[in-house]
Structure 1
Amino acid sequence: MHPSIPRLLRKTVLLALLAMPSAAWSADGKAGENRDEIVVYGRALEQVGVATSGSEGVVGYADFEKRPISRVGELAENVPGLIATQHSGSGKANQYFLRGFNLDHGTDLAGFVDGAPVNMRSHGHGQGYLDLNFLIPELVERIDYTKGPYHAADGDFASAGSLRFVTKNRLSQPFFEVTGGSFGYWRGVAAGSADTGQGTVLAAIDGTLSNGPWVLDEDLRKVNALVKYSTPDWSLGLAGYSSRWTSTDQVPERAIASGLIPRFGFIDPDLGGRSGRVALTFNGKAGNTTFTAYAIGSRLQLTSNFTYFLDDPVNGDQFRQIDRRGVFGGSVSHAFDAAGIAWRFGGDTRWDRIGQLGLYRTSAGTVTATVRQDQVDEYGGGLFGEARINATSRLRLVLGLRVDAIGYNVRSGLAVNSGKGSATIVSPKAALAWKAGDGVELYANYGQGYHSNDVRGATITVDPASGDPANRVPVFARSRGAELGLRVERGPLNVSLVGFWLDLASELVFVGDAGSTEPNDASRRFGTEFALFWRPLPGVTVDGTAAYTRARFRGVAPGQAFIPGATPFVLGGGISASMTPSLTATLRIRHFASAPLIEDNSQKSDATTLMNLGVYREAGRLRLGIDVLNLFNARDPDITYFYASRLRGEPAGGIDDRHIHPVEPRQVRVTARFLL
């Protein structure tokens, strides 16, 4: 046992008991009961007559409560067609893939938790950085998701889709849970709630230690905590997160093939990072008006080395990125009926106060030079309006309009890269829903949206690494898309089928690894998605999703149209069956196909297929679970890149090669949950 384990468990239990002294007792003094506990499968909720597109939906806690996952970011995979991978340690934001996008760490996927945005604008590592590691899975009540730029309430980063996580206000019973598993994995969770005054207090703490299967121990140390007070009309939550880890990044395949390193080996031993987040979130409602306010403190320190000795054959190419900021903002929405039309108006505002945004050269984990260091104020807001018109008893028309503006002030260590400015974008939306029969609805959608670019790219004049002149980029990259959809809800069967088209005016990005902009061309994506949720027998659920996308650059030279990392086919799903009232088994599959790695498609990644198994048994106040991750011990890549790198002793100029981060091998995790 790791020497830190007893300390972690003692702290977890102590903090849980201090935070929840009365959580095991209801107001009448009886032991905690399942008084509010209802098994709700979000995928089974009726969307016909409610949804405005065939691709939006809801996932409830019961959908993923008994579902084996290896990391928190995989909660996002509850959205049909979405894949979350990892290439640089468990404390870093996942890499996301959806609708033919390599979304990097969230550039076109918007994430929210209790109404507060998670994506980070003008981030030190990547635009739209979407780190979900602060979530405690057991406290997620539901996930509301949309896809495409058709929804007026969705603004920045939502071109491919959006995720809205809602945490619980109360638990039916307090619990303590401990998990032990392969490769030094330990996790302890304690949570509970208690009625007090006119509301409910919920508190939870979650601690994780892990070494992973890597030759170089990951040495992950992560702690999450949440305290939340809720009444029927408002809630106030305080969440904290801290993590540190050593990372084994992607490695060149030639190093494995030559025997220089094993499959789970490393090139640079001094990589890894530290991450932290503190968030205060307020949600309220008054009649038909809802509002959210938040204050978030966020920090990231990440040390990486992808090319080894390509640029600096003596000291190596190691570098460090730092992002430290405060994010402040809120949103409001009001709905009312007038002239037979359901109206909704709203707005949101946000200010990112970025105190340190830095890129540094390092050697053996020590800073040796500053490439660039900036301070940025980025502020913005959006207004939207939406009208829902019932043209007939079966036909609904939804018209929406959104206006967004961003202003910025970049104060760069290199004065010529400083500057101020602003930009505005208008995004119209439209949806048509026709109820063709009982439980059957057809949809047609059109919309425009956007993702913002790093505002340092809007003020840049000189490349800070090379000193060469640099081209500026616009603040907004517009998207435009359409979708046709079908939804069928018949008793225990829910099915949806959509076909979509999505254009992005430009995939210009600011590359945090280099501190400069990287031009990319306009793109177009066509695709189709199928999703199924079926309860064929009591206690048995089957869900599945399949998505195909054709993604290409537009207006480029012949043979150069493939978009690197754009996975064309995704398949996922599983079956969960209650063998007895107290015994449940779950089997799941996750597959994403080979993808182009460069524009001419001459280099491709290998496909990845994983299966996970979970078995869970209830025994009074005790629940035991066994998860087998990567059941068949697949040796596939979790993610693959193709670029030039140079190992010691290799010729100048480096060698073009595939670089992979392998999926973790088969591992077993055993969980015991105690209801208090």
Structure 2
Amino acid sequence: MCKYFMILLLLVTSVCFSQSKNISGTLKDSSTRHPIAEATIIREPSGFSDISDARGKFSFRAPGAIDTLLISAVGFQTRAIPANSIRNGQIIFLQPRAVQLADVVITGNTTNPYKAISETDIRLRGVSNSQEVLRIVPGLFIGQHQGGGKAEQIFLRGFDNDHGTDIRLSVDGMPVNMVSHAHGQGYADSHFIIPETIASATYKKGMYDAEKGDLAVTGFVDFHTADHIDNLVKLEAGQYNTYRALAIVNLLGQQQQQKDRTWYAAGEYRYSNSYFDHPQYFQRANFFTKYNGKLNAHNTLSLSAASMYSTWNASGQIPESAVNSGLIGFYGALDPKEGGITSRTHINAQLATTLTNHDLITNQVYYTYYNFDLHTNFTFFLEDSINGDEIRQREKRNMAGYNGSYLHQGYWGNTQLITEAGINLRVDQTYNSALLHTMDRYTLLNPLKLGDIGESAAGIYANETFHFNNRFTLNAGLRYDQLYYRYNNKLAEDSAFSGTGTYRAQNYTISPKLNFYYQAAPHLQFYLFTGKGFHSNDARVVVAQHGAETLPAAYGSDLGTVFKPVKNLLLNAAVWYSYLQKEFVYGGDGGTVAFSGRTRRIGFDLSARYQPGQSIYIDADLNYANGRSLDDPAGQRYIPLAPAWSSTGGITGIFKNGINGSLRYRWLGNRPANADYSLTAEGYFINDVVLNYTQKKYEIGLTINNLFNVKWKETQFETVTRLKNEAPADGIAFTPGTKFAALLHFSHFF
């Protein structure tokens, strides 16, 4: 039924596209000659607007008089161009300038309410490390409980997303999340991204976009790497034997860049013992290269490749009781054998084809080889009082996929229509995915899970956006996802299965979306989002349940506003609701399946960006979420570790003499650690500071994490633990957050 509806939708809209637009152009940066995406083009005096696409292209149909095109983009000078002086297909150059909130324009056809905030934040704050890559999203908190080598735990909108269960991450259209992962569903290790290569980030909260499928429940984050970066060498050194070296080199000359061809390579190496009593010996090497160039007038090819290798020791999670008794210090360790090795290598190819009517066809293929080997001990001597409870989780993975889309803009009468249809294909194959009871990392005591996983996913979607006038826009989307699972169980002792052999299952889901946008005033937009989403579950769960009830639905709604009461103040506010059905969840640390019933979350988000002067920028985000389980008894309905109150913010200064920097804070309130709130995961308030002196050819800087040296707990869990020769105890186990940590850096641009 879904497939027929989508075909009908495409046929109807293709009939409607009988009118062609007669004003079109391409926006480019005057200094780099690169396309400018997400710029706003307003037709005066009608007020109708368009947004430039990833190619920098815009186009209008002109039913009436157009005196002027007003073009604005964050980080560029606004231009007013007489419409009669523009030739169709003309290239229009914008002059770069310092970021000004006055350049942010709110229009009725802006369908991403976070667009302005994301553009200004990443340009002003940037990202200095792989953790900051995720913190760019307002309201998103992360926690590291292996000191930097393991993927971060992610919190957003009252969800403990674990390492990515309900948030979808991608880079240049390629998924970061790993399904049916040895450690947990949706495991998203973004450490292969070199922060300095990120040009922009697109994100939305909620489950309201048809082009996003599996895992996009609390939202999605798409990182986009730069097509061109100036030559750069950067050296960093700081406390706890922390070092980093980075180099970015352009591989094509200026003449090729003038022909819209760029190619660069970036490499980094990091080392740190970290702030724990037990040295981490953490090291990671990253390499990334990207080519982007025109093949001809209608085709642009982007090729990228990356490789990451990381190894570390870890202090892991320690019981509060062991610290309180004086057995170990706040930064101590109970099992010095924890740690891991992980690597990821991928290639990514994207071809963008522009048709003669300005339609856009994109084709993308990608391949990733991934290796994961993690050694942890959460319970110490609870299960094995002699050898300890150390576990080893490992897998080798091949992941390949294809993304294709078609984008068409046209008119039905005076209503502008934007149609997008696409297909997503993905195949994951793991080998010897294992959960093993071990000692001294590699001595096998008892295998708990062992097998090969095959998972395939196919999704199709259609998206229709109606710009009825310069005030009202409607977006309707529909998505269909079909998933296939295969598990080859190699362990006869695994009680979840009747024996060794191959087990199969499949399931599917249909996800409708409906979104409304209303421009109430020139600087005020309201929006209402509604939709259904989902997250898949581990293949080992699905085949054991024969596919039944293993693709639970998530329903949500947002009511919000984007408001500029004055030219240098930007506000974004929303109240939201989400509801999740029952689901089966595979616990990678124990190889068990946990059942959870229905949940309901209600909350609000508030973001403010204020620029009191040209050189000062102030930002603040305040978030609240009330989450409860609906099927548990009264008094036991709290959702463990779900954040309630949280806030981030800071002040940034960028001065003409080259001095720039920021002072930032992060506050996470207390939250329940278990269902009856008898245990509390303690909140924290910490500050970070960055100071730089930047000139044309170099930059000298200082970064300080935890400026006031607060003792804080970065991650916390209710855990039953047993220390050697002691009785079991139920309480909080935690990983301490960083101490005061200063890091100097020097960068040379050439």
1:427 maps onto 2:511 in alignment: yes
Relative to structure 1, the CA distance from residue 217 to residue 364 in structure 2 (aligned partners, 3 Å threshold; closer, same or farther) is: same
2:197 to 130, 139, 144: 139
1:207 maps onto 2:283 in alignment: no
Aligned twin of 1:274: 341
Instruction: Supply the AA of the counterpart residue of 1:511.
Output: G
- Alpha-carbon deviation of 1:493? 2.1
Q: Separation in 1 of the partners of 2:136 and 2:301?
A: 28
1:91 to 130, 138, 149: 149
Query: What SS class does the counterpart of residue 562 from structure 2 fall into?
Result: strand
1:627 maps onto 2:703 in alignment: yes
Q: How does 1:34-49 map to 2 (within 5 A)?
A: 38=96, 45-46=104-105, 48-49=107-108
1:181 to 238, 257, 260: 238
1:57–1:146 Cα contact (<8 Å) kept: no
Aligned twin of 2:535: 451
Aligned twin of 2:350: 283
- Alpha-carbon deviation of 1:45? 4.7
Measured on the aligned residues, the alpha-carbon RMSD in Å equals: 2.2
Relative to structure 1, the CA distance from residue 193 to residue 46 in structure 2 (aligned partners, 3 Å threshold; closer, same or farther) is: farther
Q: Separation in 2 of the partners of 1:485 and 1:292?
A: 34
Q: Separation in 2 of the partners of 1:39 and 1:374?
A: 56
TM-score (norm 2): 0.81
1:103 maps onto 2:157 in alignment: no
Q: Separation in 2 of the partners of 1:276 and 1:36?
A: 41
1:63 maps onto 2:125 in alignment: no
Relative to structure 1, the CA distance from residue 57 to residue 76 in structure 2 (aligned partners, 3 Å threshold; closer, same or farther) is: farther
Q: How does 1:385-534 map to 2 (within 5 A)?
A: 385-414=462-491, 416=497, 418-460=502-544, 474-489=549-564, 490-534=566-610
Compare relative contact order (CA 8 Å, sep 6+) and give the higher one, 1 or 2. Answer: 1
1:293 maps onto 2:377 in alignment: no
TM-superposition CA deviations, 1:228-259 (whole Å, max 9, x none): 11114121001010000001111001111111
Instruction: Supply the AA of the counterpart residue of 1:155.
Output: G
1:226–1:238 Cα contact (<8 Å) kept: yes
Q: How does 1:321-336 map to 2 (within 5 A)?
A: 321-336=393-408
1:601 maps onto 2:658 in alignment: no
1:122 maps onto 2:122 in alignment: no
Relative to structure 1, the CA distance from residue 343 to residue 307 in structure 2 (aligned partners, 3 Å threshold; closer, same or farther) is: same
For structure 1, which segment, 417-426 or 83-92, has the greater mean C-alpha deviation from structure 2 after superposition?
417-426
Q: Separation in 2 of the partners of 1:526 and 1:389?
A: 29
Q: Separation in 1 of the partners of 2:225 and 2:541?
A: 35
Query: What SS class does the counterpart of residue 139 from structure 2 fall into?
Result: coil
- Alpha-carbon deviation of 1:477? 2.1
2:172–2:222 Cα contact (<8 Å) kept: yes
Aligned twin of 1:236: 303
Relative to structure 1, the CA distance from residue 319 to residue 502 in structure 2 (aligned partners, 3 Å threshold; closer, same or farther) is: same
1:550 to 605, 616, 626: 626
- Alpha-carbon deviation of 1:472? 7.6
1:192 to 249, 253, 262: 249
Q: How does 1:337-352 map to 2 (within 5 A)?
A: 337=410, 339=412, 340=415, 341-352=417-428
1:58–1:143 Cα contact (<8 Å) kept: no
Instruction: Supply the AA of the counterpart residue of 2:319.
Output: P
2:109–2:473 Cα contact (<8 Å) kept: no
- Alpha-carbon deviation of 1:284? 2.0
Q: Separation in 2 of the partners of 1:56 and 1:375?
A: 41
Q: Separation in 1 of the partners of 2:555 and 2:115?
A: 18
Query: What SS class does the counterpart of residue 699 from structure 2 fall into?
Result: strand
1:583–1:617 Cα contact (<8 Å) kept: yes
- Alpha-carbon deviation of 1:303? 0.4
TM-superposition CA deviations, 1:198-217 (whole Å, max 9, x none): 52111010100000011111
- Alpha-carbon deviation of 1:64? 5.8
Q: Separation in 2 of the partners of 1:620 and 1:112?
A: 32
1:51 maps onto 2:110 in alignment: yes
Gaps of 5+ in 2: 1-31, 34-75, 77-92, 295-299, 355-359
1:528–1:547 Cα contact (<8 Å) kept: yes
Relative to structure 1, the CA distance from residue 612 to residue 438 in structure 2 (aligned partners, 3 Å threshold; closer, same or farther) is: same
Q: Separation in 2 of the partners of 1:169 and 1:54?
A: 25
Relative to structure 1, the CA distance from residue 473 to residue 307 in structure 2 (aligned partners, 3 Å threshold; closer, same or farther) is: farther
Q: Separation in 1 of the partners of 2:411 and 2:662?
A: 48
Instruction: Supply the AA of the counterpart residue of 1:152.
Output: A
Instruction: Supply the AA of the counterpart residue of 2:202.
Output: D
Aligned twin of 1:19: none
- Alpha-carbon deviation of 1:58? 5.9
Aligned twin of 1:4: none
TM-score (norm 1): 0.90
- Alpha-carbon deviation of 1:277? 0.4
2:427–2:454 Cα contact (<8 Å) kept: yes
2:106–2:525 Cα contact (<8 Å) kept: no
Gaps of 5+ in 1: 1-25, 28-33, 462-470
Q: Separation in 1 of the partners of 2:630 and 2:236?
A: 49
Instruction: Supply the AA of the counterpart residue of 2:387.
Output: N
1:574 maps onto 2:574 in alignment: no
Query: What SS class does the counterpart of residue 326 from structure 1 fall into?
Result: strand
Relative to structure 1, the CA distance from residue 381 to residue 293 in structure 2 (aligned partners, 3 Å threshold; closer, same or farther) is: same
TM-superposition CA deviations, 1:597-650 (whole Å, max 9, x none): 110111111111110011100244220000111001111110111121000121
- Alpha-carbon deviation of 1:397? 1.0
Q: How does 1:343-382 map to 2 (within 5 A)?
A: 343-366=419-442, 367-382=444-459
Aligned twin of 2:38: none
- Alpha-carbon deviation of 1:392? 3.6
Q: Separation in 2 of the partners of 1:585 and 1:73?
A: 18
Count of residues in correspondence between the two structures: 632
Aligned twin of 1:14: none
1:315 maps onto 2:390 in alignment: no
For structure 1, which segment, 495-504 or 283-292, has the greater mean C-alpha deviation from structure 2 after superposition?
283-292
Relative to structure 1, the CA distance from residue 39 to residue 552 in structure 2 (aligned partners, 3 Å threshold; closer, same or farther) is: farther
Q: Separation in 1 of the partners of 2:275 and 2:284?
A: 17
Q: Separation in 2 of the partners of 1:160 and 1:613?
A: 29
- Percent of pairs with identical residues: 27
Query: What SS class does the counterpart of residue 252 from structure 2 fall into?
Result: strand
Aligned twin of 2:281: 219
Q: Separation in 2 of the partners of 1:305 and 1:263?
A: 17
Query: What SS class does the counterpart of residue 631 from structure 1 fall into?
Result: coil
Relative to structure 1, the CA distance from residue 58 to residue 379 in structure 2 (aligned partners, 3 Å threshold; closer, same or farther) is: farther
Instruction: Supply the AA of the counterpart residue of 1:219.
Output: Y
